[in-house]
Amino acid sequence: MKVTAHEISLTQRHLWRSAREAIPVHRAVVVEVEQDGLAGYGEASVFMTDHYNSSLDQLHTDLRRLAPLLAGLSPDDPTAVWQRLAAELPDSPFVLAALDAAVHDLRARLLGIPLWQALGLGRPQGLRSSFSIGLDATEVMVDKLRERPGWSAYKIKIADPGDPTILKELRRHTDAPFFVDGNCGWELSQLVPALPQLRDLGVELIEQPFPRAAWSDARTFKELSTIPVIADESITSIADLDACTQAFDGINVKPMKAGGITPALALLRAARDRGLVTMLGCMPESAASVSATAHLGSLVDHLDVDIVDLLEVDTGRGITVDGSGRVTLPRRPGSGYLPDPEAHGWHVRAASATEVRPIRHRVLRPAQPADSCAYPEDDLPGARHFAALHEGRAVGAASLYTEDPPAEYAPPGLLSRGCRHGGGRRLRGMATLDQVRGTGAGIALLRVALTHAALDGADGVWCNARSSAAGFYRKQGFAELGPEFDMPEIGPHFFMYRSLR
C-alpha cells in the first residue's frame, strides 16, 4: 500500500467567522493511498491545532513516523488498519481520520462499489444539507442567506443568544428552520432567558452552547430546554457518549474529529440505538474528505456538508450540493472523489518533470540554456517531482531521486546516521519564484518532499545546497557534511543531509 501526501490551501467565498475565531485560509494535508493502480483519498485539516495536535509540521511528522507501518498494511480490512493506526496516533485524530478515510475509499474502489455499500449501509436517500452562516455584521449575514435562498435549514453562528437582532433580520428572508451554534461561547445565564424568543424565531436545534468542560451547565440546560440541544466539541469519541447522553439530546459527528470513518460509523450507530438526534458534519475541508462523509448519510437526522458550496476553491470533484441544499453522491466507486490537478485548492502536489523545469530554469540557471534544466535523472524509475502552486500556477519546484549519497560522505558521516545502501534520496532543483519568497512556499515544498521520501522507505535525504541557501536547509533539519565546494558555472555549495529515521 503506497501512501503519498499533498498540501492544500482553501479559501471560502466569505471570510469564515464563529464565536471562537475567524479563518481566512484553511490549510490541510490530503493523503492518497494507492494499490493496483487505484487510489483512495483522505484529508487532515490544520484546525484548532493545539487541541487536535494538527499543525502542518505535526501532520507530516506523524506520517513520516508511521511510514514503516503503513508500508506493510493492506486495505482489505479497514477496521483492522484503523486499530493498528489508532494505537500509534492516540493524540492525532486528524491524521488517523485521513488515513482511515483513504483506506476505506481505496477498498471500495478496488471492489468497484460506492463507499456506502462497502460499509454495509443503505443507499443514502433524499439528502439535504443545512447552510452555514458564519458570524459577521448583521447585514453581511443577511446577504449570505439571500445568496443561498431555498435551503431546507440554516445553521447560524451567533455570539449572544439573548440578542435577537440577527435572527430577526434573517427570519424576514426565509421560513426555513434555524439551527443556532454557540461554538462553546455562551453561558447558562444568557441562554435560559432567551429560550422562548429562540423558539418563536424558528430555532429548532441548538448546537454546543457551552465549553466542553461545562458538563453541569449542559445537563441543567437539557432539562430546561424545549429545543433539542446537540453536542459538537463535547463529543470527540465513543468514550464521550455516556456523558453526552446525559447532557445533550443528540450529537454532531464529524469523521475527522472522531478519528475517521470507522469510529464515526460506530458513534452514529450507538447514538441511534440510544435514541439520540444525529447530525453528520465536517471540519474546514475539501471535496477530498467531505465526499466520503456524505456516504454515512443514511444514519443521520441532519446533514451539514455545505462546505463544498462555501468554498471559493477546491481540489477536485466529489459530492454536489444544489441551490436548495440537495446533496448528490457521485456515480463512481468509493467516495466518488476525483482530484483535479488544475484546481486552485492545491498548494503542493505531485507534478511532472515538464511542469517543474521552467521554474528550475527561471530561478536556478537563468543565464544558461533551458535544456540545462532537464536533468538526466528526471525520467528514471523512482524520480518524483513536486510543484508549489498559487492560483493554479506553478511557483515553486523540487525533485527527488533514488540515489545514495556520494561515497566520500558515507564513512563515517552517513552510515553512522543510519542510511542504508539504497536508502538515500537526492533532493535537486529546489526553487521558488521571487513572488512567493517569504510566503512559506519553499518550506511547504520541502516538507512534502521529505514526507514523500519517508513514505517511500528512505532513510535520509541529501542535496548539494547553494551556500546562499544553506541557512534555509539548516532550519529544516539538514546538516552540512564536509567543506564548502564550488560547482562550475553555478557557484559555492555545501553537501547537506537530513536523516528521516
Strand-strand pairing, 154-157 and 131-133: parallel
- Our measurement of the distance from residue 9's CA atom to the centroid of its chain's CA atoms, rounded to an integer in Å, reads 9
| Structure-block grid coordinates of residue 500 | 528521516
Once rounded to an integer, what is the mean pLDDT over residues 437-449?
94
Specify the CATH class of 2-112 in words.
Answer: alpha beta
pLDDT above 70 for 414: no
- Our measurement of the distance from residue 309's CA atom to the centroid of its chain's CA atoms, rounded to an integer in Å, reads 17
Domains 2-112 and 131-339 share a fold: no
pLDDT tens per residue across span 100-157: 999 999 999 999 999 999 999 999 999 999 999 999 999 999 999 999 999 999 999 9
pLDDT tens per residue across span 282-337: 999 999 999 999 999 999 999 999 999 999 999 999 999 998 999 999 999 999 99
Contacts of 174 (CB under 8 A, 6+ apart): 145, 149, 151, 154
pLDDT tens per residue across span 248-293: 999 999 999 999 999 999 999 999 999 999 999 999 999 999 999 9
Q: What is the pLDDT of residue 416?
A: 47
Per DSSP, helices labelled H in 334-405 are 353-363
Q: SS3 of 146, please?
A: helix
57-61, 330-334, 487-491, 493-497: segment of lowest average pLDDT: 487-491
Contact 40, 75 (CB under 8 A): yes
pLDDT tens per residue across span 57-82: 999 999 999 999 999 999 999 999 99
**CATH T-level topology, domain 131-339:** TIM Barrel (3.20.20)
The pLDDT-based confidence of 375 (bands split at 50, 70, 90) is very high
Measure the CA–CA gap between 498 and 462, rounded to whole angstroms. 6
pLDDT above 50 for 166: yes
The pLDDT-based confidence of 411 (bands split at 50, 70, 90) is very low
Once rounded to an integer, what is the mean pLDDT over residues 462-485?
92
pLDDT above 70 for 409: no
Encoded amino acid at 76, one letter: D
| Structure-block grid coordinates of residue 219 | 445537563
Residue 233 has a CB neighbour count (10 Å cut-off) of 21
DSSP character at residue 12: B
The pLDDT-based confidence of 418 (bands split at 50, 70, 90) is low
- Rounded to whole angstroms, what are the CA distances from 331 to 282, 298, 362? 22, 17, 43
Q: Per-domain residue ranges for the chain? A: 2-112, 131-339, 346-499
Once rounded to an integer, what is the mean pLDDT over residues 349-355?
96
Q: What is the pLDDT of residue 419?
A: 72
The pLDDT-based confidence of 85 (bands split at 50, 70, 90) is very high
The label of the residue with cell 547553494 reads: 466
Measure the CA–CA gap between 493 and 464, rounded to whole angstroms. 6
Q: What is the pLDDT of residue 21?
A: 65
CATH dotted code for 346-499: 3.40.630.30
* Beta bridge pairs of residue 39: 34
* DSSP per position, 304-324: --THHHHBSS-SEE--EE-TT
Measure the CA–CA gap between 107 and 114, rounded to whole angstroms. 10
Mean pLDDT for all residues in the chain: 94
pLDDT tens per residue across span 211-223: 999 999 999 999 9
pLDDT above 80 for 415: no
Q: What is the tally of helices (H) and strands (E) in the chain?
A: 17, 25
Contact 335, 108 (CB under 8 A): yes
pLDDT above 80 for 382: yes
Strand-strand pairing, 203-207 and 229-231: parallel
The label of the residue with cell 498494511 reads: 73
